[in-house]
Amino acid sequence: MRGHIAWRHRADGGDDGLDGDDGGDDGDDDDNPLMRTARASDNGSVMGISVAAWMGTTILRGMFESFEDESKNGSRFIETLIQRIRESLAKALVEFYPFAGRLVMGIDGRMAVRCTGEGVPFVEATSEDDIAALGDISTINPAMLRKLVKHSDGAPTILEVPLLSVQVTTFKCGGIVIGIVMNHVLVDGKALTDFIACWNDLARAKPLSVLPFLDRSVLRPRQPPHVDLPHHEYAPRDQLPGLVVDPQTKPLVYRSFCFKPHALIQLKKAARITTQNGSSVVPTTFEVISALAWISRTKALGIGPHETTKLLTAVDGRPKFEPPLPSGYFGNGIAWSCAECSAGELTHNPFSVAVQTVREALASVTESYIRSAIDHIELNRVLVDCQGNACCISKWSRLPFYKMDFGFGRPFQVAPATVPNNVILVASQSRESNDLVVSLGLTRDAMDVFSKLIQHELTLKSKF
């Protein structure tokens, strides 16, 4: 952005990373809605992280953008909006109280949430620019977009990172961005959107459309635990980085690639799968994007033909159970499918073979698979293998971000402020577009190769 952003900090929730004297509330804590919320849930309890939560310790950042009518641009209107967002957040935290807690490490080496109500950092910021200065936020630009979220760069370990933080940035034109950071150790994307839906309902004085299901025991290990299936989506913890929040030692270049509907149709035609009975199956959009990104990344990294490469996909496990888990399950309800083969097999076989590999891996995620994975984590010190030759892919395009409304309209765009290393993110381009955007970070040399490969495919498919 051309101008600068000025932050007006609110010491909501008592977060040490906020300066309560810099525009904060100097009154008694009882006048602070978030502090009242914290006390309402201050029961000193500890909520155990379900074993599925070990699948990720990545902080994902989301952002909402909404344009306002010029008639509503008065400062009083903006102040009223921010107050509504802030007070409804406080009320939502009564139901979703684990967000106001903090991570702790138990003597058994497992993380848990201590629900003592420390609160959620809340930051108000203003920009001298119009919101149009942001441009298309679906094109990932961490250097710019990180200004729109409350980050915790100084945290020495993941335990010091708040489980949720919120920043509301207002622009000269009256536009608003709500930047949300959630700690992926606690919840997945589905649980986050459930929370935002509840927050929206409260902001609009509507009955709650969803309540959190907080009983983590539904995903507890079996007694005794027994592993029925191979789980190559995990690796021993001593082979992976620890809990330290380690800044990237090698600079990454972040880029986004736009897939238009016509190109996706052509990709799916090129990847028709022949079943055992001879019939033809058209793969899904996500399957072809996943396969193309996996192939292109493998080539870009120069992985040897005899080395194994993996693509792990985040799959919502809630509907995989019989009966399904409660829709409002609050936690990490995701399981990871694992497509794997040698780099040579992946890159030298027809595109349809890679698509079929991805498809079969996704189909393997059943209740039995998830139960076996839970027991595998219980019996072995493992974490998701998303390093080196392996990468993870996650889909935001099906999450109901564009249905959210705090009372001043649905978001125009929703986008990540950044993408973690070795993660590929698929998201919708905007509320008014059917385009999908694939974002990731690679070293510069690898990104140059990846870009050429993707652009070649998109150019080729656009000719048909």
CA atoms within 13 A on the CB side of 272: 8
State the Cα–Cα distance between residues 185 and 111, nearest whole angstrom.
Answer: 9
> 266 pLDDT exceeds 50?
yes
Question: What six digits make up the tokens of 181?
Answer: 């950071």
State the Cα–Cα distance between residues 249 and 266, nearest whole angstrom.
Answer: 39
The residue type of 421 is N
- Residue 418: pLDDT band with limits 50, 70, 90: confident
Residue with the two structure tokens 């249905």: 403
Residue with the two structure tokens 């978001």: 411
> 425 pLDDT exceeds 90?
yes
Instruction: Give how far the C-alpha of residue 83 lies from the chain's centroid of Cα atoms, to the nearest Å.
Output: 26
DSSP state of 96: T
Q: Is 263 exposed, middle or buried (0-12, 13-18, 19+ CB in 10 A)?
A: buried
Question: What six digits make up the tokens of 226?
Answer: 């027994």
pLDDT digits (tens, 9 = 90+) for 146-181: 889 887 777 888 888 889 999 999 888 888 899 999
Please list the active-site residues.
Answer: 184, 405
DSSP state of 278: S
Apex 37 CA angle, 127 and 145, nearest 5: 25
The residue type of 282 is V
Question: What six digits make up the tokens of 269?
Answer: 């035609």
Task: Say which range, 193-207, 267-281, 377-391, 403-417, has the weakest mean pLDDT.
Answer: 267-281
Question: Distance between terminal CA atoms of the chain?
Answer: 38
- Residue 459: pLDDT band with limits 50, 70, 90: confident
